[in-house]
Amino acid sequence: MNVKLLMLSTGQEVIARLEKESELAYVLSDVMVLSIVQTQGGPQVSMFPWMLGFPKGEIEVKKIDIVGKPLGELPKDLVDSYLRNTTGIVL
């Protein structure tokens, strides 16, 4: 499973499964937005669907709309949290 973390030109940080890649775009599925929420225990990362009206399925994101992406592996705890949120599987 190829999970990607992308910073969009809108300032949103999204995590998703990469389904396909072309020269101009990524096709992503289960796209979630990362957000910081304040809790009594301090700030925590929260995830919610990027398109609330279309939380599952494939979405095309143009590469021109991406301002950054990590080089290398994503932290295991982030990927595990993403999988728990999108599949219900606890690793």
pLDDT at res. 91: 62
Specify the fold of 3-87.
Answer: SH3 type barrels. (2.30.30)
DSSP bridge pairs for 34:
13, 47
pLDDT in tens, the chain (91 residues): 799 999 999 999 999 999 999 999 999 999 999 999 998 988 888 999 998 888 788 999 999 999 999 998 999 999 999 999 888 776 6
CA distance 45 to 47: 7
